[in-house]
Structures are given as structure tokens and as C-alpha cells.
A and B are shown apart, each in its own frame.
Chain A
Amino acid sequence: MKTVKRTMSTMALAATMILTVSCKDGNKNEPAAPMSNEMHQETMDDKDNMAMGKNQDAKAEAILKGYFNLKDALVNDDNSKAKELGNTLAQSLKSFDASSYADSEQNELKDIIEDATEHAEHIGESDIAHQREHFKTLSKDMADMVAITGTSMKIYEQYCPMYDNNKGGAWLSMNEEIRNPYFGAQMLKCGKVQREIN
């Protein structure tokens, strides 16, 4: 009888343990579908269109700024800051609304945003080497986004040929001077401007 009791309590313990473990990852958010906040959007649209025109979307500018902050954290080899900024960027990406764009652009934009959100979220939880890997694809997403949304900022597309085993990696910057987000202090000035936007 004693062994039966012991087995039972072990079982109970095991059951609780399994339950606890299985719930551990439970609150990882899936990349949420772009929120359609229509009422809000209507009022925003009018203002946006009047104040800045369609080519200078305020939310797209906010996303870009979030991206630049993240880039600076990587330039400074700051893993935890980059995590924080990755999550911030994921949030502003999720609040982006493509509905004011033409149909053909909408699909492309939604695709870009979905992809970029996933990379930003991963940056929010990775070590710095992984953050940089995701940053490379994120940079491409951002460049493609700007090509559609336009921007009032002057942006430089810069390129480091050595990153990713000499496959190279590009990034966007608001400054002409090179500050390499892929190598940080290790090779701060490696790279060149390959394109100017605006």
C-alpha cells in the first residue's frame, strides 16, 4: 500500500510538472494579423492625406525611426538594448495600416510588414549574432517598404561586403558616415554608401 501511495504522489508530481512545463511557452504571441482599426483609420486618413500626402505615411516614418534606433544599438554592440528596440519595432510594425495604399501595393506591403514583424520579434529574443542575421533581412524589408511608402527623410543605403561570410549585408542609415551594425566596434567603419534615397 505504501508503494502505491508513493507511486501516486509521484504521478501527481509528474503531472503537475508536465503541466507547468507545457504552459511555459504558452504566451508567445503569434505574429498578429495586421489590425484593421477602421474607425480610427478614417479620421487618421483625412489628416494624413491633408497634412503630409500619401507618400509620407506617418506610421511608416515611425517604423523607420524604430529601425534606425535598433541599428544604432547593433552598432554599439548592445544586445539588451537591441532586444528592447526589436520588440518596440515589432509593435509599431503591427500598428501599420496598408489600407490607404493601392491594391497592388497593399499586398506587397502586408507581406513586407509580416516578414519584418517576425524578424523584429526574433531580434527581441536573440543573442547579438542572431540579431544581426535577422537585421540583414529586416534591412531588405525596410528598403522595400520605403520604395512603396516613400519618406521625407534623407536615407543612405550602405553596404558591408564582408558580413555573412563575405556574402555581404546592406543596411539603411540617416547619416552618410559609415557605422557598421553587423560588426560593431570590431569593424566600425567597414562599408560604403551604395545608394541614396531622396
Chain B
Amino acid sequence: MKVVKIIAWIALIAFVVIQFFPVDYNQSEIVPQTDFMLVNKVPATVEQSLRVSCYDCHSNNTNYPWYSKIQPSAWYLEHHIKEGKAELNFNEWDDLSDRRKTSKLRSIISQIEDGEMPLDSYTLIHRDAIFSETNKTAVIDYMKKLKDSLE
């Protein structure tokens, strides 16, 4: 029983200590001219879907939930956002060449079609980020049209 007590204390101390580690928050007021919404004519419903389901991890501005203030979930989020932005940043869309845009659109389409995106770990809490069937079709159709216009 004593061992359990010690472990519990260590865990508690560790939990408190990790709260002091800084996190790189992904927040920016500025929307660059290269933003996907600014350079493309995106229909309102599609825009809404993308903002709710994609922009938290694929843009320079994350709408953080309350638990982002608590470690270790803050690290978990930070890691996901960095990875997401490295893969695709909608804010920097127009910096991409047509070749890269086409490739990115191809992956956007196939990942949404396969239900790989948005991530399950994200929709677990962000229930509103789950695409409804109509929104899913609308987003995919729009992305396909955009892709065809580039090819």
C-alpha cells in the first residue's frame, strides 16, 4: 500500500511539474493573402465545413478548447497541429505551385472520401467537425472541380 502511495505522489508531482512546460500556441490574427478562401471562390457551406473541420490543424490559427491549457493534452494538440500544418496549411495555399496544389487536392479528396480526415481523435471531442453526408459531398465535389480546373 505504501508503494501505491508513493507512486501516486510522484504522479501528482509530475503532473504539476509538467504544467510549467511552455507550449507553442498556434494563434494568429492575420490571414495572409495566400489563404485558400481568399484565392478561391468557395461556396459558403463548403467554407463553413472547412473552417469547422480542417482549419484548427491546417491553418495558422487554432480555436483552442479548454483542455489545451492542461498538460499533457497541450503537447498532444501541439504535436498534431504541427504535423497537420506541415502536411497542408490552408493559409499558405497560394504559395503552392499548380503541381503541388493538384497533389494536395488529390490527397484532400481521397482522405475525406476514406474518412481519414478529420482525425477520429479530433472528432471525438469536436463532434461538430464530423462531416454530414451532404457537407462531405459538397466539399469533395468542390475540391474535385478545383482540381480539374488546375489540370
Contacts and interface: CB of A to CB of B under 8 A. Distances in A.
Decide if A and B are genuine partners.
yes
A22 to B, nearest CB: 4
Interface stretch (A24-32, A72-80, A174-182, A190-198): A24-32
A8 B106 contact: no
Interface of B: 4-5, 7-12, 14-15, 72-73, 75-76, 79, 83, 86, 97, 99-100, 102-103, 106-107, 110
B99 A111 contact: yes
Contacts of A144: 99
B15 A11 contact: yes
27 contacts: A5-B5, A8-B11, A8-B12, A9-B4, A11-B11, A11-B12, A11-B15, A12-B7, A12-B8, A12-B15, A15-B11, A15-B15, A15-B72, A21-B76, A22-B76, A22-B79, A25-B79, A28-B83, A30-B86, A111-B99, A115-B99, A115-B100, A133-B110, A137-B102, A137-B103, A137-B106, A141-B99
Contact of B72 (A4, A8, A19, A30): A19
A9 B7 CA distance: 7
Interface residues of A, number: 28
Contacts of B15: 11-12, 15
B79 A26 contact: yes
Given A5-B5, A114-B100, 5 more contacts: A9-B7, A18-B72, A19-B72, A25-B83, A115-B103
Contacts of B72: 15, 18-19, 22
Contacts, number: 61
Interface in A124-163: 130, 133, 137, 141, 144
Interface of A: 4-5, 8-9, 11-12, 15, 18-19, 21-23, 25-26, 28, 30, 111-112, 114-115, 118-119, 122, 130, 133, 137, 141, 144
Contacts of A133: 106, 110
Contacts of A12: 7-8, 10-12, 14-15
A27 to B, nearest CB: 11
Nearest to A138: B103
A97 B15 CA distance: 47
Contacts of B7: 9, 12
A144 B103 CA distance: 15
Most buried by B among A15, A28, A133: A15
A15 B70 CA distance: 11
Contacts of A137: 102-103, 106
A8 B8 contact: yes
3 tightest Cβ-Cβ pairs between the two chains A and B: A12-B11, A8-B8, A22-B76
Contacts of A22: 72, 75-76, 79
B73 A18 contact: yes
Nearest to A112: B99
A119 B102 CA distance: 12
A165 to B, nearest CB: 12
A9 B14 CA distance: 12
B75 A9 contact: no
B148 to A, nearest CB: 10
